[in-house]
Amino acid sequence: MDFRHQISSPDNLAALACDALVLVVVGEAVDASLDPALANALSDAIAQGDLALKAGKSLYLHRPAGVRAARVVFAAAGASTVKAFKAALMHGLNQVKGSGAKHVAVGLAGAGALSDAHAEAVVTAARECTYLYRHTKPSAPAASKIDKVTVLCAKADVKPVQQGLARGHAIAAGVNLAREWANRPGNHCTPTHLADVAKKLGKEYALKVEVLDRKACEKLGMGSFLSVAQASDEPLRFIVARYDGAPKSQAPVVLVGKGITFDTGGISLKPGAEMDEMKYDMGGAASVLGTLRAVAELKPKLNLVCIIPSCENMPGGNAVKPGDVVTSMSGQTIEILNTDAEGRLILCDALTYAERFKPAVVVDVATLTGACVIALGHHNSGLFTADDKIAEQMQAASAKGLDPCWRMPLDEEYDAGLKSNFADMANIGGRPGGAITAAMFLKRFTGKYPWAHLDIAGTAWKSGAAKGGTGRPVPLLTHFVLAQAA
């Protein structure tokens, strides 16, 4: 899909050559500067009760009089924020994505200039609306015909709009990569497949990619990671990818993504209902790969290391058992009270491995706990960090990326739940505050660098009729990484 800008003003929109014109209407009245043909059509629709200028409302007009575009959509934003603009735009694009329109022009019908954030929102909204999974579904509906989107802006707004389009293109491509691999079934997305994705990105963007096998992980002493993988016939993969955009002396940002390509729960077997959704348990890994792609395309002046421990969590005669004690790469021992709390067992060795890069900051990303879904639902990802500065940066990035997160507590009192009579710690701390005790477990392996944890169990995918990966939190992570360069 081609995205570009075009200098235009509200009073000449009716003459634009495009297949569909989507206008986001800001405010509670028709803007006086709007092209008369469009203003009359909009005013008449409001007067007749066909459109209310409230968020979530939109109106499609086919071949309106005096307008060159064959299709016009008015989408009410209800507010002047970028968030409201994107939501309205999504409604508008959904009206035309199934039509014959190939070229869609997008503009504002109301006061205010278009910023880089608006332009980014145009790209991410268009790519989100038109994404279609078909890897294992050849009978999927025909793809949208939209192949060109033009952002209409004033001459003074050209530079920020260009910047936003470039950033939006990179982020949207990263989101789609994350969605695609999260959507693929466990037999089409194995640890080996994830390693191949990283290798392909390495070739495309000249990245350094290293993939460790079981023997290499054994040599490093990754007993915790190995314990999770030991019952699966699929070989584990420990993926390390590096983007070097700054001198070697500059400490890198490190992203760690949970890559459980299928999670049965192991011996602590999950219920059968909705177990199919456990193919998404590599959502953290997918989002880290998507962020890597976005960063590699944007080429910021920083160093980025992406680490993905990947395996399946399966039951079997040689599976790790409740009560088993394993030794992590850090040397700390772990009593595994529940084999379904496996994400933290693979992440802890990856967090220890990250020490060798002497990182400026480490962020791990994981579909880690159902408890986080209960706490925050499906809107906010859970953010855990003891560092106020990192928390502020993450929340600022979430606001810019329209990819919200909410900071959760890490009080030392929660750590008591991880006590074990037979090891340095247990891998679970009971049901109360389950997302917090999971983060406290990870915190024990992060004493040598600044660290944050994102629990994306409620935000990485949708259930129900719209079942599928969301690609989150690629926007949040990308903005966070770019901010480190700034």
Q: Per residue in 180-198, pLDDT tens?
A: 999 999 999 999 999 999 9
Average pLDDT value for residue range 35-40: 96
Query: pLDDT-derived band of residue 111, with 50, 70 and 90 as boundaries?
Result: low
> Residues 130, 178: one domain?
no
Residue 37 domain flag: yes
**Left, alpha or beta for 433 (phi > 0: left; psi -120 to 50: alpha)?**
left
Residue 159 domain-assigned? no
Range of the domain at 302: 174-485
Query: Looking at the predicted structure, is the pLDDT value of residue 288 above 90?
Result: yes
* Contact status, residue 219 vs residue 238, Cβ threshold 8 Å: no
Residues 107 and 231 in one domain: no
Whether the per-residue pLDDT at 478 is higher than 90: the answer is yes
Strands (E), 46-205: 58-62, 71-76, 103-109, 148-153
Q: Is 110's pLDDT higher than 90?
A: no
Instruction: Say how far residue 65 (Cα) sits from the centre of its chain.
Output: 42
* Active-site hit among 71, 97, 258, 344: 344
pLDDT of residue 486: 81
Write the single-letter amino acid at 404.
P
- Assess if residue 163 is contained within a domain: no
At residue 112, the pLDDT reads 76
User: Does residue 320 register a pLDDT over 80?
Assistant: yes
How far is the C-alpha of 180 from the C-alpha of 401, rounded, in Å? Answer: 20
Evaluate if residue 159 carries a pLDDT over 90: yes
Domain identity same for 198 and 326: yes
Q: Which of 105, 120, 152 is the last residue of a domain?
A: 152
Question: Are 38 and 143 in the same domain?
Answer: yes
Q: How far apart are CA 402 and CA 87, in angstroms?
A: 10
SS3 for 335?
strand
Strands 253-257 and 361-366: parallel
Is 43 in a helix, a strand, or coil?
Answer: helix
Q: What are the residues facing 312 on neighbouring strands? A: 262
Together in a domain, 191 and 311: yes
- Domain-embedded: residue 398: yes
Please give the tally of structural domains in the chain.
Answer: 2
- Look at the pTM and tell me if it is higher than 0.95: yes
Please check whether residue 253 is in contact with residue 359, taking contact to mean a CB–CB distance below 8 angstroms: yes
Residue 43 belongs to domain with CATH number: 3.40.220.10
> Which pLDDT tens digit goes with each residue over 15-26?
999 999 999 999
Contact (Cβ atoms closer than 8 angstroms) between residue 308 and residue 253? no
**CATH for 426:** 3.40.630.10
Query: Encoding tokens for residue 22?
Result: 């989507």
pLDDT computed for residue 361 by the predictor: 98
**Catalytic one of 148, 270, 448, 462:** 270
The CA distance from 217 to 225, in Å, is 8
Same domain, 231 and 328: yes
Task: Determine whether 344 is an active site residue.
Answer: yes
Between CA 216 and CA 297 the distance in angstroms is 31
Q: Same domain for 138 and 254?
A: no
pLDDT in tens, 333-372: 999 999 999 999 999 999 999 999 999 999 999 999 999 9
Q: Please answer whether residues 83 and 124 qualify as being in contact, where contact means their C-beta atoms are separated by less than 8 angstroms.
A: no
Do both 225 and 93 map to the same domain? no
Is there a catalytic annotation at residue 63? Answer: no
What average pLDDT does this structure show over 54-75?
A: 97
Residue 166 belongs to some domain of the structure:
no
Do both 205 and 84 map to the same domain?
Answer: no
Residue 72 lies in a domain: yes
Which run of H or of E encompasses 176? helix 158-183
Q: Which of 409, 396, 445 is nearest to 425 (CA)?
A: 445
- In a domain, residue 158? The reply is no
CB atoms within 10 A of CB 197: 23
The mean predicted confidence, pLDDT, of the chain is 97
pLDDT of 461 higher than 70: yes
Are 51 and 147 found together in one domain?
Answer: yes
Residues 194 and 144 grouped into a single domain: no
Task: Answer with the one of 85, 117, 152 that is the final residue of a domain.
Answer: 152
Average pLDDT of span 442-459 = 98
| Cα distance between residue 64 and residue 61, in whole Å | 6
Quick one: 251 and 145 in the same domain? no
Q: Which of 307, 253, 267 is nearest to 484 (CA)?
A: 253
Structure tokens at 380: 């906010």
Residue 131 inside a domain? The answer is yes
In angstroms, the CA 201 to CA 204 distance is: 5
